[in-house]
Copies of this chain bind each other. A is one copy, B any other.
Amino acid sequence: MVTVMVLFDSRGGLVEQLAAAVAEGVRSVDGTTLLYRRLDEAAPKELPTVDALIVGSPNWSGMTGKLKDWFDHSGDLWQTGELASKPGGAFVAGYSRSGGTEATLLQLLHLLLGHGMIVVGLPWSDRMRVSGSYYGATAHGAVTEDDREQARALGRRVAELAVRLAAAMLYTARRVMRTGPHSPISP
């Protein structure tokens, strides 16, 4: 089983609605355990234990200070690398279509990359005309069914990558039993 954390700061509800859809996407993938965490309920000590992390924020001209502050006080994981080479993703909800949605997603992706994580977004589909970003899942003003579908796709994609990487480790482990040591993923 791989553990996928969905972590978000929600005020006003849109972000939480997106988070619920991201969580549905995670749960739809066999072999995953979901950690669903509002920021107030999350414990930094859980972070190093997860196999994947999907972070959500309202668009407050960037992520909320409260969310960033939580990460600022989550220890030195960025330095010690407990999250390095694990999959991550992001989602954002706000008032406006192009007034910072991508910028806020990018701040979240930067945080994930700052931990050495592997970034998963959304590929093009016609649905992206009205919802979603290459950088992650989105909502503007309200959470529509298109928004939920993109959020589910994001949850699925991150979870499937985590499951595949775990499977690869099993496969490699078996292969190693036959062929000798295989170099670990470079730090």
- Residues of A at the B interface (CB closer than 8 Å) are 25, 29-30, 60-73, 78-79, 81, 84-85, 87, 95-103, 105-107, 109-111, 113-116, 118-125, 128-135, 138, 140-141, 153, 156-157, 160-161, 163-165, 167-172, 175, 182-183, 185-187
Contact = CB atoms under 8 A, between A and B. Distances in A.
A24 to B, nearest CB: 12
A84 B123 contact: yes
Contacts of A64: 68-69, 72
25 contacts: A30-B182, A62-B63, A64-B68, A65-B70, A65-B71, A66-B72, A68-B68, A96-B132, A97-B101, A97-B140, A98-B132, A99-B129, A99-B132, A100-B134, A101-B102, A113-B135, A114-B124, A114-B134, A125-B187, A153-B186, A160-B186, A161-B185, A165-B168, A167-B167, A167-B171
Given A118-B119, A135-B113, A164 B168 contact: yes
Contacts of A170: 171
Given A103-B106, A167-B172, 19 more contacts: A61-B110, A61-B134, A63-B68, A65-B68, A65-B73, A81-B123, A95-B129, A96-B130, A97-B101, A98-B98, A98-B132, A98-B135, A99-B134, A100-B134, A113-B119, A113-B121, A129-B141, A164-B169, A167-B168
| Copies of this protein, total | 4
A114 B182 CA distance: 33
Contact of A138 (B84, B98, B120): B98
Contact of A187 (B29, B118, B123): B123
A124 B81 contact: yes
Contacts of A171: 167-168, 170-171
A164 B169 CA distance: 8
